[in-house]
Amino acid sequence: MSKILSILQIVNETVNDFTLKPKRNYTEPKIYTGGIEITKWSKYSKTEQQEALEKNWFVYFSFRNPKTGFLEKQPFIKGGVNRYKTKEERIEILETYRRNLLRILKEGYNPYDEKGTQNEIKSVKEAFAFALDIKKNMMTENSYIRFKSRIKRFEKYLEEKGYLFRFITSVEKSIVMDYLNMVLDTSSARNRNNTRTDIQTLFQVLEDNDVIASNFISKIKVLKAPPKRNKSYSENKLERIYSFLKETDPNLLLFIKFVSYNFLRPIEVCRLRVEDIDLKEQKLIVKAKNKLVKEKIIPNILMQELSFLSNYNGNDFLFTPKGIPSSWEATDDNRRDYFTKRFKEVKDLFTQKAKEGDKDYFALGKEYGIYSFRHTFITKIYREMRKTLTPFETKSRLLLITGHNTMNALEQYLRDIDAELPEDYSDLIK
């Protein structure tokens, strides 16, 4: 018996708790860099560097096959990294892949387990496409278009920062905060908050589908963002604008009258088709914000201007760039934006004329818009009814006219537009 073997036997007999270290189920992930040592990159010639970049770079590792017990090579992880043309870009992305792969291997990831955590290693591009595809079937067309637009802008930002082909788990709170701060600097707190909400929604889909462990966006605070206030028009301003539009753009005036007299939101007016106007029953049907559809009466003051509709196809949109009912391939938001810009041209003209000293015109700032006509006429009706009715009676009747869903919603709206003003209180000051 050899001396070394004798010593080992003695050790084995005296150390009762000696146990073999279990075999590792995986090798530590490594990066293949085109067959050259990346630490010596600067020592290679330009030709050698270019030859290396023309090859595929990837992360590789082996995992123990539970059936054979042997370590076996797993599919290479490229994740689009070879689209990048520089060593720095490829190494930055592949190192992120390698680090995150090692983390999930330590947490128990098993490529042979069909119920494993493979979703955790989706790239940013793959994860975003996955979540958008799910949300497309859960949202209305108009909402999805806005949602997708914000997510695509965020995706573009991540691409510029080199994240597009990294693991989705590499997108941390700091990079999201940097983006939200950029949105805040270039737009408003309200847009920043809306962007945060959409990103949170996207990440919630990823969490629900086990693509990420948790949705950290919910921990990012919502900023205070005072709501945009549309100011009501005075009687003089209202009469002058109506008179001007009657002469220069009667179609836009009719659009505004649906807002003024039927208390529709501009986007609801944009959804109206000829078939939605029932001239015989004096009613209209519109897709509303707070429910699928709603039915409203058309007041006589508006009815007398709609007889021309009988000459058009029922499927035609009531308001279009042609100035007459016709087909119009566009989203609701784009239709609304078209009329918003059209009215802005009127506002700009009024403001410019006022600056030039023309007393027939007046400045109209950002606080005035098409929505302001709705505020103006609701205030007008409220104050007229209050002359003979109690506040509760007035609001009860007004609720049927405005289309608000609840009394609380109407009361909040009336407070926001200052519909109720106090009587003179001079005697209280004396």
Q: pLDDT 10s digit of each residue in the chain, 430 long? A: 445 545 444 444 444 544 555 678 899 999 999 888 988 999 999 999 999 999 999 999 999 988 888 888 888 888 778 888 899 988 888 888 888 888 888 878 888 875 544 444 688 999 999 999 999 988 888 788 889 999 999 999 999 988 888 888 889 899 999 999 999 998 888 899 999 999 999 999 998 888 888 899 989 999 987 766 678 899 999 999 999 999 999 999 999 999 999 999 999 999 999 999 999 999 999 876 545 678 899 999 999 899 899 889 999 999 999 999 999 998 888 899 999 999 999 999 999 999 999 999 999 998 899 999 999 999 999 999 988 998 889 888 888 888 787 888 888 888 877 777 777 777 777 7
Q: Do 381 and 336 share a domain, yes or no?
A: yes
User: What angle is formed at CA 194 by the lines to CA 192 and CA 195, rounded to 5 degrees?
Assistant: 65
**3-state secondary structure at position 313:** coil
Q: Are 126 and 165 in contact (CB under 8 A)?
A: no
Tell me if 271 is assigned to some domain.
yes
Q: Residue 31 corresponds to which tokens in the numbers above? A: 């990066």
pTM of the entire predicted model: 0.58
Q: Do 274 and 317 share a domain, yes or no?
A: yes
What CA–CA distance (Å, rounded) separates 55 from 66?
A: 32
> Where does a domain end: 184, 219, 254?
219
Q: Are 315 and 327 in contact (CB under 8 A)?
A: yes
**Number of domains, the chain:** 3
CA 236 → CA 130, 287, 320, distances in Å? 55, 33, 29
Which domain covers residue 182, as residue numbers? 124-219
Q: Do 275 and 390 share a domain, yes or no?
A: yes
Q: Do 63 and 85 share a domain, yes or no?
A: yes
Q: Residue 142 corresponds to which tokens in the numbers above? A: 């108009």
> Parallel, antiparallel, or unpaired for β 283-286 and 71-73?
unpaired
What CA–CA distance (Å, rounded) separates 387 from 279?
A: 32
> Cβ atoms within 10 A of the Cβ of 414, count?
21
CA 241 → CA 178, 302, 354, distances in Å? 44, 17, 13
Cβ density class 194-217: b for 16+ within 10 Å, e for less: bbbebbbbbbbbbeeeebbeebeb
Tell me if 58 is assigned to some domain.
yes
DSSP secondary structure letter of residue 220: S
Q: Do 215 and 128 share a domain, yes or no?
A: yes
Instruction: Report CA dihedral (155, 156, 159, 165) to the nearest 10 degrees.
Output: 40
